[in-house]
Structure 1
Amino acid sequence: MIDLTTWNLSVPVGSPAIIIDTPALASGYKDEYFHADSGSLFFWAPVTGSVTKSAKYPRSELRETYADGSVHNWKFPDADNMLRASLAVNQVPSSGKVVIGQIHQYGSNEPLLKVEYQYKEKTKLGNIVAKLRPTPDQDEPTVITIAQNVPMSTRFTYTIHLGPGGTLIVNAANYQWSTKLDSAWKVKDLYFKAGVYTQDNTGYATEGGQVTFYKLSAEHAAKTAAVAGL
């Protein structure tokens, strides 16, 4: 079973979209947008779903917390930070795009990183891309293609690894990309998100993003003495 005791959940109902707190989620919460009773995590966000404050698109998405439900934010120099997932994208909206993992920044609408699956109707295959903001103030992210020709409904893995020295590594579908973050990110409060963030908001209620996670974990390991001494 995937441990849900350190996450809360946004589901695309209400105005703005509601948040299911950690104790309720860990106690077996389920609805048409999310359930975990099969051992895997099912996420569904139709294009007609409601959105969180200041967002354009609907989501069914987890956000890091502590066990008591308070939000868990972190600064990357303080630990070795990693999000690991095994999943399959089962449905995409007309845009073909769903976000499946993020490093967000607290108090901002602009994440540091989005990992996005982009389906191509012509080839019936998808690419996995990283959308990175090189600096906290940059509006438009830089887009990097990590993996290509990933079929729909086929299980793959991704890992987002942000080390205390500022090296960001993204592995996806057996391909890897890495970069060094700008030092301006050092003071920002960050947090992981995972699920389905549907990048579309027009169409019928049967259109949207659906993703199944088979494994999911977030880790913040203490720095080694060697790294701490840098």
Structure 2
Amino acid sequence: MIDLGTWNLSIPVGSPPTTIETKQLLQGYDDKYFTSGSSNISFWAPVTGARTANAIYPRTELRETWSNGTLHNWTYTEADNFLNAKLKVIQVPSSGRVVIGQIHVYESTQPLLKLEYQYQDATKDGIIVAKVRFHPNDKKPRIFTIAEGIHLNETFNYVIHLNKAGLLSVKAHNMVWNDRISATWSKQQLYFKAGVYTQDNTGYTSEGGKAMFFNLDVDHNKS
């Protein structure tokens, strides 16, 4: 059972897109974009879905909250910060790209980290890339391939870890990448996101990103 008690959910419907609050998620919220069962949760974000302000792509994505539903933002120097997930990507849009995890920045349109599954027609499988902005003022992220050879419907794990010293590491499919971010990030309010952020906005209503998560856990270890 995935604990939904410290998340809210954005779904790609309405203007602005609808936010499903923490309390509602805990009561067993389900619709065509998000379903929760005893052993998994599923996300669907069609390319035709509504988009949040300043975003060019649709998303069905969880965002960290406190247990009372208020937004949970943190600075990385406070704790060792982990996002652990076990999932499978079921469908990708024509671009082949779906973001499955993020470290985002409060009141910013530019995340620190995007973890993205990229399906490749040539190999009929996918890679996991990390798109990292090492400094808050970076206009574009640097891109690193974390893992390769992950098929659609293949279950895999990822772990995003940002420690108190600013060391960012990403583990996926038994591969590991790490590097240190700029200390200027220590002044920024950060938060985790997870789900499906479809990196495409053209096509039929049947096109989009779909994923099923079997585990999703956030830890801020202050010890």
TM-score, length basis structure 2: 0.99
Coordinate RMSD, CA, aligned: 0.7
- Give SS of 1:186's match: helix
Q: How many residues align structurally? A: 223
Helix, strand or coil: the match of 1:131?
A: strand
Q: 1:149-193 CA distances to partner (integer Å, 9 max, x unpaired)?
A: 111100000000000011111000110000011011011000000
Tell me, in whole angstroms, the C-alpha distance in 1 between the residues paired with 2:173 and 2:2: 21
Q: Quick one: distance in 2 between partners of 1:192 and 1:155?
A: 21
CA distance in 2, matches of 1:167, 1:87: 25
1:153 equivalenced with 2:142 (yes/no): no
Runs of 5+ consecutive residues of structure 1 not aligned to the other structure: 224-230
Structure 2 matches for 1:120-131, cutoff 5 A?
120-131=120-131
Percent identity, aligned pairs only? 54
Following superposition, the deviation at residue 39 of structure 1 comes to: 2.3
Q: Identify the residue that residue 91 of structure 1 maps to in structure 2.
A: 91
**Which segments of structure 1 move beyond 4 Å, counting only runs of 4 or more?**
none
> Could you tell me how far apart the structure 1 residues matched to 2:82 and 2:37 are?
25
**Paired letter, 1:215:** N
Q: What SS does the corresponding residue of 2:169 show, helix, strand or coil?
A: strand
> How far does residue 53 in structure 1 lie from its aligned partner after superposition?
1.3
Contact 1:18 1:52 in 2 (8 A): no
- Structure 2: 5+ residue runs without aligned partners? none
Q: Distance in 2 between matches of 1:164 and 1:37?
A: 35
1:38 Cα offset (Å): 4.2
CA distance in 2, matches of 1:67, 1:183: 29
Paired position in structure 2 for 1:166: 166
Question: For each residue in 1:5-61, what CA deviation from the matched residue of structure 2 results, as whole angstroms up to 9, or x when unmatched?
Answer: 000000010011110000001110110000102420100000000011111100000
| Separation in structure 1 between the aligned mates of residue 27 and residue 51 of structure 2, nearest angstrom | 24
Residue correspondence of structure 1 range 1-230 to structure 2 within 5 A: 1-223=1-223
Structure 2: distance between partners of 1:190 and 1:218: 13
CA distance in structure 1 between the partners assigned to 2:116 and 2:158 by the alignment: 11
State the secondary structure of the residue aligned to 1:77. helix
